[in-house]
Amino acid sequence: MTNSAAAAVTPERIMQFAWGYVPPLVLEAAIRHHVFDVLDSGPKTVPQLSAETRTSERGLTAITNALVGLNFLAKDAHGVFSLTPESAAFLVSTKPGFQGGIIRHCSEQLIPKFLSLNQIVATGKPIEAVNQENTGGEFFHEFVTDIFPMSYPAALALARHLDLSSPIRVLDLAAGSGVWGIALAQSSPHVTVTAVDWPEVIPVTRNTAARFGLSDRFAFVEGDLLKADFGTGHTVATLGHILHSEGRERSRALLTNVFHALAPGGTIAIAEFLVNPDRTGPIGSLLFAVNMLVNTDEGDTFSFEEISAWLSEAGFTNARTLEAPGPSPLVLATKPN
Ligand SMILES: C[S@@+](CC[C@H](N)C(=O)[O-])C[C@H]1O[C@@H](n2cnc3c(N)ncnc32)[C@H](O)[C@@H]1O
């Protein structure tokens, strides 16, 4: 190796990653202690923040300075902290764009499981899988509400894309909060929704639909996705962030069931964390695949090419992407007439 080549490589990135677990935990502590919420009413010093959040000045000093370094807060020459445009839009819990849901699960639900990653890699099996009803129902009960803001803009983009001017029967599979059906029903009075999820989660779907004043347009089916009877003749089926936890074989079976549940000409819409065909990116989807390793029996992240092959196998045609806000474009396909 030449000297110049040796000089070009530094351990700097590795040193940075050694502390990679800290930023989400700092964000979580700030969210839990309402730091962003309190700053939403105006800039404050640490003593003022301490009084309003009832947390220690020492703790707040450490995390607020770190948040300045991470560009989630700004600090002026007098030590007064304020929100940045990003934290004002997405980290204040009362804002519609609040994205703190996943972060809020870091210390209690996500990181503890990742601490067993060495063992999980050795065995290829999760310590506790959330794709099973007994553990998943409880996990998802709270989580689905927290991730509502992640999918709501994408669901509205789907609503804008579809023709909702005549009666539309939406089958919202793995409905969770009901975000996909809710956005579609809000967008047109012609939309009715059948929401399918585990019995532990359907009460959340029911409550969220009621909160949006849409109860009269929702029907609910409780059960496992591969066993539940969700009827036939639906015009649109949405599968929001479910294929990754189901894994290849269950996903393929589910797509076949969806094909039979749709009316001819019907549309299936799938939201996923897509990887490229070589599985070299994007990094968010590659990291999410590790999350599926840690949390599910057979989960993974898939490419558009893989999903479109399963769609063709199930009988769908014209698999395509629809650009939408979120981690990846949506995948759409049509049941032929
Ligand atoms: C990641 S959440 C997605 C919720 C919603 N579709 C969204 O995009 O926000 C996955 C949902 O699938 C449900 N789910 C997972 N596996 C299931 C299964 N085998 N049968 C029924 N529901 C399931 C969970 O309860 C949860 O509501």
* C-alpha 41 – ligand 1 centre gap (Å): 36
Which of 49 and 134 is assigned the larger pLDDT?
49
Residue 29: closest CA among 59, 73, 70? 59
How far is it, in rounded angstroms, from Cα 53 to Cα 72?
A: 18
- In whole angstroms, what separates CA 286 from the centre of its chain? 14
Verify whether ligand 1 is closer than 6 Å to residue 197 (CB atom): yes
The pTM of this model reads 0.94
CB atoms within 10 A of CB 220: 18
How is residue 305 written in tokens?
């090419």
pLDDT of residue 78: 98
Place of tokens 């004043």: 213
Average the pLDDT over each of 5-9, 51-55, 112-116, 238-242 and give the range with the smallest value.
Answer: 5-9
Q: Whose CA is nearest to atom 8 of ligand 1?
A: 240
Check if the beta carbon of residue 274 is closer than 8 Å to that of residue 304.
yes
pLDDT at residue 34 greater than cutoff 80: yes
* C-alpha 86 – ligand 1 centre gap (Å): 29
pLDDT at residue 1 greater than cutoff 60: no
Q: What pLDDT, in 10s, does the model give residues 266-290?
A: 999 999 999 999 999 999 999 999 9
Exposure string (b/e) for 245-262, b if CB count within 10 Å is 16 or more? bbbeebbbebbbbbbebb
Strand 330-334 and strand 317-322: the pairing is antiparallel
DSSP strands (E only) in the chain: 73-75, 81-83, 168-173, 191-197, 218-222, 234-240, 262-271, 317-322, 330-334
Verify whether ligand 1 is closer than 6 Å to residue 241 (CB atom): yes
Kindly state the average pLDDT of the residues 121-147. Answer: 87
Residue 133: closest CA among 124, 141, 145, 142? 141
pLDDT of residue 6: 60
Sign of CA dihedral 88, 91, 96, 97: positive
Which of 1 and 50 is assigned the larger pLDDT?
50
Q: Whose CA is nearest to atom 27 of ligand 1?
A: 176
Exposure string (b/e) for 32-70, b if CB count within 10 Å is 16 or more? ebbbbbbbbeeebbbebbbebbebeeeebeebbbbbeee
pLDDT of residue 128: 86
pLDDT of residue 155: 98
Place of tokens 């990094």: 283
* C-alpha 189 – ligand 1 centre gap (Å): 25
pLDDT of residue 36: 98
3-state SS assignment for residue 24: helix
Verify whether ligand 1 is closer than 6 Å to residue 151 (CB atom): yes
Q: What pLDDT, in 10s, does the model give residues 159-174?
A: 999 999 999 999 999 9
pLDDT at residue 151 greater than cutoff 70: yes
Check if the beta carbon of residue 144 is closer than 8 Å to that of residue 186.
no
What is the atom index within ligand 1 of the atom nearest the CA of 223?
Answer: 21
pLDDT at residue 242 greater than cutoff 60: yes
